[in-house]
Amino acid sequence: MLTKSAKAKGRALQNLVRDLVKKYWGIVAKVRIMGEKGDDVYIEGSWQFYIECKNREKLSPWKHFQETQEKAGNKFPLLIIKKNGEKPLAIMDLNDFFDFSKQTEGL
């Protein structure tokens, strides 16, 4: 796959996540330019997630999640993966999932 096509696939997944953050949580998120340092989808201020998006055919979820964890700092690391013909998946540490759920009870 050409680099341009690969970046377009990645950008499409980032835009999807950005749009879903707005749709479900009512929060306006931003998307980083491909290659820019930092999380792929972000909110300025007190956003709780560090979101990395991977849209490729060959995935190593554990490897990509470990990389996301290393970059996340004090935020919840959240890896969004997608490959052709499949629905996107969100990958999060199980304890982080329940910690976040406990914080947002009543939503």
pLDDT tens digit string along 49-90? Answer: 999 999 988 889 999 999 999 999 999 999 999 999 999 999
Burial level of 74, CB count in 10 A (0-12/13-18/19+)? exposed
* Residues present in the chain in total: 107
Distance (Å, rounded) from C-alpha 97 to C-alpha 91? 10
Taking a C-beta distance cutoff of 8 angstroms, is the pair 66, 56 a contact? Answer: no
pTM of the model: 0.87
Question: Under CATH, which architecture does the 3-103 domain have?
Answer: 3-Layer(aba) Sandwich (3.40)
Cβ within 8 Å of residue 2, ≥6 positions away:
none
Q: Any idea where the domains of the chain sit in the sequence?
A: 3-103
